[in-house]
């Protein structure tokens, strides 16, 4: 019996991709949490929110849930993130 192991990573680097600029500090900022909707994200985001507020001075946390755990964030979430948030965290609740 034999089997083939496939590497699921993409073979090329996407053109024109760059990371967004990072803020020097999170103090006073609004941070958005994007949940995939699974149960495990609740505890993760609860503890992360406490840490961001206490240790980094984050002023506001906005939590949103995607309409499908297997799809990218919905257009309205992306629009809100660009308009209202200074940083974002995504969570997988598996």
Q: What are the tens digits of pLDDT across the range 33-47?
A: 999 988 888 899 999
- What pLDDT score does 91 carry? 78
Average the pLDDT over each of 7-11, 22-26, 88-92 and give the range with the smallest value.
7-11
- What pLDDT score does 92 carry? 78
Distance between CA atoms of residues 7 and 18, nearest Å: 24
Per-residue pLDDT band at 31 (split at 50, 70, 90): very high
Chain segment 52-82, per-residue pLDDT in tens: 999 999 999 999 999 998 889 999 999 999 9
Domain ranges within the chain, ordered by starting residue: 26-35+67-86
């Amino acid at each position: 019996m034999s089997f083939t192991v496939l590497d699921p990573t993409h073979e090329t680097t996407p053109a024109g991709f760059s990371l967004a600029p990072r803020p020097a500090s999170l103090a006073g900022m609004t941070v958005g949490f994007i949940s995939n909707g699974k149960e495990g994200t609740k505890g993760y985001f609860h503890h992360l929110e406490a840490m961001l507020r206490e240790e980094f001075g984050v002023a506001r946390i906005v939590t949103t849930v995607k309409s499908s755990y297997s799809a990218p964030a919905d257009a309205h979430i992306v629009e809100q993130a660009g308009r209202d948030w200074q940083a974002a965290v995504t969570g997988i609740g598996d």
